[in-house]
Chain A
Amino acid sequence: MLYPQHMTHRLLHTLVFSSAALVGGCGAAHVTPTSDASAPPDAGADAPDVRYCEAGWPTTKGQFRHDRDGVVYSCSHPMENPEMPDLSMCCVIRPEDLPENQP
């Protein structure tokens, strides 16, 4: 079961197949599972699984800078929004700039 319908994604070859060379081999042999009884559970199949609630690894994209009233914010929203309606998406990146922290 090697997903022939998707075997043409160029990154599959670049990232997966060619990486065997890094460890001096030709790749792991696929192990066909013996029965459905051993299959990993589906997401949320039984009790809630806390593993699905974790944050993933931070990405290298998707943060944007906002300036407002001399305070610089790091936000997950890209547009300058003078009303800043949802500050929960932003964090202040220089707390010393906040008015309450001014001498």
Chain B
Amino acid sequence: MSRLDPNGRWDGAVTSRALPSSEEEVASLSPALRASLGRIWWMQAATEARVAHSFQLVHASLAKLGANEALVQLAHRAIDDEHRHASLCEELTSRYVGNALGAYVKLPDAHPLHATAKNEEERAALYVVGQCALNETFASAYLTAAREECTSPLGRAALRELLADEIDHARVGWAYLMSASAELRVSLSDWILPLTVCNLREWQEVATQSEGHSTGELAAHGVPRAEAIREALEEAVSGVLLPGFAHVGLDTRAMERWAQAGMAT
């Protein structure tokens, strides 16, 4: 039975348009490269599905905050979006290695607890900002970098589908910040640096673990080089997060000093 919501973004379909035929492309790859790509997309299916849980929390948080109904609905749709992403990744796995790896597995759910939040309202706002404005902005930067290096029609099509949704997910966070109360924005100003440091650390780990395996060959199929990931993350901090947070009225002075000092995590 499908995990996808028939009322989801594409009426229960996995993608906005059919993925390109890939038999010839895949047949031209070495067995080792096919195996690597199959494994990478298989694991990404699991991690995409895990983020559906993150959006359950974001959705509940926005509802608790009494946020604009359009944002609440977008966050609800995002739960299904992440399941669609998992299905898309399964499809990519299948294109490269058939059904050799089986269904993806459920990874343990995880999210920050923000134990020192002043109250439930602040914690709910931190969930929205952390998952949407930060994590999905980094995801958008990652996917943009991946797409720039990707020449494979199949890879580019998959990355385009993922990126289109991640952009919407990030915008939920930015739009929420625009509509948050002045009082909440003051308290969030004190949190944006720790939130950014912790989330950037997660993404830098993706780059670190790519070192030694990242190749132009993989990059051509949508798995970016470690250096490209690092560059995209740093540009996201200086070019999106800092001016973005300033634009929505947060105090970015501490974050700016941290960025200028090298973005230590």
On A, residues with C-beta under 8 Å from B are 1-3, 6-12, 14-20, 22-25, 27-31, 33, 36, 38-43, 49-52, 54-65, 72, 74, 76-79, 89, 91, 93-94
Contact = CB atoms under 8 A, between A and B. Distances in A.
8 contacts: A6-B239, A19-B175, A42-B258, A51-B198, A57-B135, A59-B135, A60-B44, A74-B46
Contacts of A10: 144
Interface string B166-188: 01001110111111001001000
Interface string B28-61: 0000000010011011101110110010000000
Given A15-B244, A28-B249, A40-B190, A57 B68 contact: no
A100 B210 CA distance: 32
B202 interface: yes
B112 A36 contact: no
Most B C-beta atoms less than 10 A away, residue of A3, A24, A91? A3
A43 B178 CA distance: 25
B27 interface: no
A44 B144 CA distance: 32
B167 A57 contact: no
A interface majority secondary structure: loop
Contacts of B191: 51
Given A2-B246, A12-B240, A62 B209 contact: yes
Interface in B94-127: 101, 105, 107-108, 110-116
A36 to B, nearest CB: 7
Most B C-beta atoms less than 10 A away, residue of A18, A50, A51, A61? A61
A51 B190 CA distance: 11
B134 interface: yes
Given A28-B249, A40-B253, A57 B134 contact: yes
B179 A57 contact: no
B interface majority secondary structure: helix
Contacts of B253: 33, 36, 39-40
B48 A20 contact: no
B68 A23 contact: yes
Nearest to B170: A15
A24 to B, nearest CB: 8
A22 B240 contact: no
Contacts of A17: 247
Most B C-beta atoms less than 10 A away, residue of A9, A51, A55, A76? A51
A57 B195 CA distance: 9
B248 interface: yes
